[in-house]
């Protein structure tokens, strides 16, 4: 058993006891409370939707009742004795006067008699144009069946009945958030409860009595709906019930307020509601933004006598008071839970403490014994339960252990003297062996890698040569027909050349003394500029800014690819050291060393930096801090390439401040 086992066991028991005491109150109860609150919230929202759906049903029934009453009134008028007597009198002025009086009594906006040919023979008000008589409700009445429906009249058709109706129907559109964009500036059409009843009197057989009510700005109609649906005290304090009649998506009759004293006539419904109700013909039952606030809303489509969806009927009430009431209720529940928890948890902890306090005393005693104090005891004198008996038994065992320890110490002192001499000899030999082993392993690794790399490179060169030769043969055999695949041949040449360059680099790494490649004179600023596009994707990903300082006028004599390899490796290492972003500084300047002219290239970052022990190993082969991503050869190879050109590479770093790699290369002569 390890030294940490007893203490770990006691801690485990303590935590289990605390878990047993607190789990129901702090975990299970909050979880159940959370589930209950979520379900209650969903049920609360469902009840609001059910209420607004019921409100919509009442409004729908009232609208249907208005349609039915209008039809009944027109039908009763057509069958009345007074109408028959007026018609029989054949008085040119009596019939229009009778129709006008009947229109006022029935609350109609127009009333006319249409003959069997569809021509208006008499009207309550003098017509200012030719009234349209080909409506389905009119043709149905002329065919002998009374009909009532909602129809949409153009402004010209309303003007033909009465200029006042055309004026009343016109509404200026008000720009409304979330509405479908439109170029219209006003709504000129009118939504009409349109009713027609056949006339069965002998003198006008085959005729029809046609009447209607314009719903545009009919505030009595919409206020009546609102009063029926939202009676006094039917909503909580602060809430407000609203009702609206839409022509298409424009409010033509509403009690929704745009601001104090003005109704929101001419405002439009949101695009989402319009698409659901008018576009898809569905009933909307959900929260919706109405003019300037959120309402629990219900919309249903209104269909005209042609079967086309032409408008919507809406009822709803302010959502904010219900939301506030819901949050107050939730806050009250949470506060009550916190109060109960604050009162009960200390009591549970006190009960639990009576159990794990003796265990803590035993744990402390064992810790003291482990630290060397064999005289430590639990101090439990009164046995109240099983844990007390265990504490007493532990004290007895510690007494026996203390006696045996004194005997063992005497034997141990003699043994230590003998072992110490042998240990010193073994430590010296072991250090020598470790150093020799490290050198041998490193030499073997580098030798094996060199042999493998050279062998692989030579093996790849042969198929490359065959591919290049066969490509030339194929190009010669095809001749001028090869122009069709000119681009593909060019790409093959480029990729084969790329493979050759890779093989050459492998050989340069494996046997640099044989495959060093050609060298050129380069300006360091140009080489640095060529390196930056290769790492630009890494710079963008880490949000790193690049600062350049170019002051070198000298050139270096080095293979351009090797110099790029060194710079790219150092830049990538700097980027990896700045995962949260930072500043990468690239500087080149002329500098003489040991009397030789040359130039310096500095690559500095503001990253995490390196500790001194890591800094001492960065150029060692196979040493890496990138774990899975690195091989540990990048800096070692870079040092080899720079040293081969007579240069030097050095590094300075500080934890938390960043790292600077310095490359010195002799000037090209």
Q: What CA–CA distance (Å, rounded) separates 59 from 243?
A: 8
613-627: pLDDT as tens digits: 888 888 877 667 765
Q: According to the 3-state scheme, what is the secondary structure of 4-59?
A: CHHHHHHHHHHHHHHHHHHHHHHHHHHHHHHHHHHHHHHHHHHHHHHHHHHHHHHH
The listed range with the strongest mean pLDDT (225-239, 453-467, 540-554, 559-573) is 540-554
Q: What confidence category does residue 592 fall into, taking pLDDT thresholds of 50, 70 and 90?
A: very high
Beta bridge partners of 521: 557
Q: What CA–CA distance (Å, rounded) separates 322 from 467?
A: 79
* E strands, 170-292, in order: 171-172, 186-187, 190-199, 207-214, 241-247, 250-254, 257-259, 262-263, 284-290
Q: What CA–CA distance (Å, rounded) separates 527 from 311?
A: 72
Q: What CA–CA distance (Å, rounded) separates 277 from 298?
A: 10
Quote the distance between the C-alpha of residue 535 and its chain's center.
30
Closest CA to 150 of 311, 362, 293, 271: 311
Q: Which two tokens stand for residue 303?
A: 């269909």
- Residue 426 CA: distances (Å) to CA of 83, 231, 259, 429: 133, 101, 96, 5
384-393: pLDDT as tens digits: 666 667 777 7
Residue 434 has pLDDT above 80, yes or no: no
For residues 500-505, give the mean pLDDT: 70
Parallel, antiparallel, or unpaired for β 110-114 and 171-172? unpaired
540-562: pLDDT as tens digits: 888 899 999 999 999 998 887 78
Residue 40 has pLDDT above 90, yes or no: no
For residues 28-39, give the mean pLDDT: 82
For residues 514-528, give the mean pLDDT: 75
Residue 10 has pLDDT above 60, yes or no: no
Q: What confidence category does residue 312 fall into, taking pLDDT thresholds of 50, 70 and 90?
A: very high
92-105: pLDDT as tens digits: 788 888 888 998 99
Q: What confidence category does residue 383 fall into, taking pLDDT thresholds of 50, 70 and 90?
A: low
393-412: pLDDT as tens digits: 777 777 777 778 777 877 88
Parallel, antiparallel, or unpaired for β 190-199 and 147-153? antiparallel
Which of the 8 DSSP states describes residue 279? I
Sign of CA dihedral 564, 515, 555, 587: positive
In the chain, the percentage of residues whose pLDDT exceeds 90 is 26
Stretch (H or E) spanning 201:
none
Mean pLDDT over the full length of the chain: 82
Burial readout 210-226 (b: 16 or more C-beta within 10 A, e: otherwise): bbbbbbbbbeebbeebb
For residues 44-67, give the mean pLDDT: 90
For residues 98-118, give the mean pLDDT: 87
Q: What CA–CA distance (Å, rounded) separates 623 from 198?
A: 103
Amino acid 48: pLDDT: 87
| Burial tier of 669 (Cβ tally within 10 Å: 0-12, 13-18, 19+) | exposed
Q: What confidence category does residue 273 fall into, taking pLDDT thresholds of 50, 70 and 90?
A: very high
Phi, psi of 644 (to 5 degrees): -65, -25
Phi, psi of 650 (to 5 degrees): -135, 165
60-85: pLDDT as tens digits: 999 999 999 999 999 988 888 888 88
Lowest mean pLDDT among 75-89, 96-110, 260-274, 470-484: 470-484
Q: What confidence category does residue 466 fall into, taking pLDDT thresholds of 50, 70 and 90?
A: confident
278-309: pLDDT as tens digits: 999 999 999 888 888 888 999 999 999 999 99
- Residue 386 CA: distances (Å) to CA of 5, 154, 317, 359, 378: 21, 96, 67, 11, 15
Amino acid 9: pLDDT: 44
Q: What CA–CA distance (Å, rounded) separates 500 from 498?
A: 5
Q: Which two tokens stand for residue 302?
A: 């209104």
Q: Which residues contact 85 (CB under 8 A, 6 or more apart)?
A: none
């Amino acid at each position: 058993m390890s030294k940490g086992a007893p203490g770990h066991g006691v801690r485990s028991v303590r935590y289990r006891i605390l878990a047993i005491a607190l789990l129901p109150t702090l975990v299970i109860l909050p979880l159940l409370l959370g589930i209950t609150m979520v379900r209650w919230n969903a049920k609360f929202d469902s009840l609001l939707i059910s209420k607004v759906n019921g409100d919509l049903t009442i409004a729908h029934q009232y609208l249907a009742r208005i349609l039915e009453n209008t039809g009944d009134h027109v039908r009763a008028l057509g069958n009345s004795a007074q109408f028959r007597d007026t018609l029989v009198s054949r008085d040119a002025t009596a019939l229009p006067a009778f129709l006008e009086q009947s229109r006022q009594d029935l609350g109609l906006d127009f009333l006319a008699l249409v003959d069997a040919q569809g021509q208006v023979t008499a009207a309550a008000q003098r017509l200012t144009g030719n009234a349209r008589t080909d409506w389905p409700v009119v043709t149905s009445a002329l065919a002998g069946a009374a009909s009532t429906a909602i129809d949409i009249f153009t402004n010209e058709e309303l003007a033909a009945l009465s200029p006042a109706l055309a004026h009343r129907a016109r509404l200026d559109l008000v720009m409304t958030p979330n509405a479908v964009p439109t170029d219209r500036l006003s709504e000129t059409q009118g939504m009409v409860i349109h009713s027609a009843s056949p006339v069965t009197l002998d003198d006008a057989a085959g005729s029809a009595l046609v009447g209607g009510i314009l719903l545009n700005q009919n505030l009595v109609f919409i206020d009546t709906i609102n009063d029926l649906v939202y009676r006094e005290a039917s909503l909580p304090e602060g809430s407000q019930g609203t009702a609206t009649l839409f022509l298409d998506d424009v409010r033509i009759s509403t009690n929704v307020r745009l601001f104090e004293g003005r109704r929101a006539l001419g405002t439009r419904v949101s695009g989402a509601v319009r698409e659901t109700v008018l576009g898809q013909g569905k009933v909307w039952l959900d929260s919706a933004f109405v003019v300037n606030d959120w309402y629990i809303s219900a919309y249903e489509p209104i269909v005209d006598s042609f079967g086309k969806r032409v408008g919507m009927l809406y009822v709803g009430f302010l959502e904010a008071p219900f939301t506030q009431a819901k949050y107050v209720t939730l806050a009250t529940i949470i506060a009550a839970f916190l109060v109960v928890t604050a009162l009960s948890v200390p009591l549970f902890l006190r009960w639990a403490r009576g159990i794990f306090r003796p265990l803590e005393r035993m744990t402390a005693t064992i810790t003291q014994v482990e630290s060397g104090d064999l005289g430590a005891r639990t101090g439990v004198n009164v046995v109240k339960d099983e844990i007390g008996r265990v504490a007493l038994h532990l004290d007895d065992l510690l007494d026996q252990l203390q006696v045996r320890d004194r005997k063992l110490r005497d034997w141990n002192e003699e043994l230590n003297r003998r072992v110490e001499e042998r240990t010193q000899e073994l430590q010296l030999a072991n250090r020598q062996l470790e150093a020799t082993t490290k050198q041998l392993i490193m030499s073997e690794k580098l030798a094996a890698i060199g042999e493998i790399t050279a062998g692989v490179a030579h093996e790849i060169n042969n198929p490359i040569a065959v591919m290049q030769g066969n490509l030339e043969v194929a190009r010669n055999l095809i001749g001028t027909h090869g122009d069709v695949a000119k681009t593909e041949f060019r790409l093959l040449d480029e990729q084969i050349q790329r493979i050759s360059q890779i093989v050459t680099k492998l050989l340069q790494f494996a046997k640099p003394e044989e495959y060093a490649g050609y060298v050129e004179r380069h300006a360091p600023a140009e080489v640095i500029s060529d390196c930056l596009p290769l790492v630009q994707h890494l710079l963008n990903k880490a949000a790193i800014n690049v600062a350049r300082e170019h002051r070198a006028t000298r050139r270096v004599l080095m293979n351009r690819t090797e110099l790029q390899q060194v710079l790219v490796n150092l830049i990538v290492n700097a980027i990896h050291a700045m995962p949260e972003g930072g500043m990468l500084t690239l500087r080149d300047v002329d500098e003489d060393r040991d009397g030789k002219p040359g130039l310096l290239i500095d690559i500095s970052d503001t990253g995490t930096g390196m500790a001194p022990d890591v800094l001492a190993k960065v150029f060692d082969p196979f040493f890496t801090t990138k774990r899975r991503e690195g091989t540990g050869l990048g800096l070692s190879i870079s040092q080899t390439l720079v040293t081969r050109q007579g240069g030097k590479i050095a590094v300075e770093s500080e934890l938390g401040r960043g790292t600077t790699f310095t490359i010195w290369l002799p000037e090209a002569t």
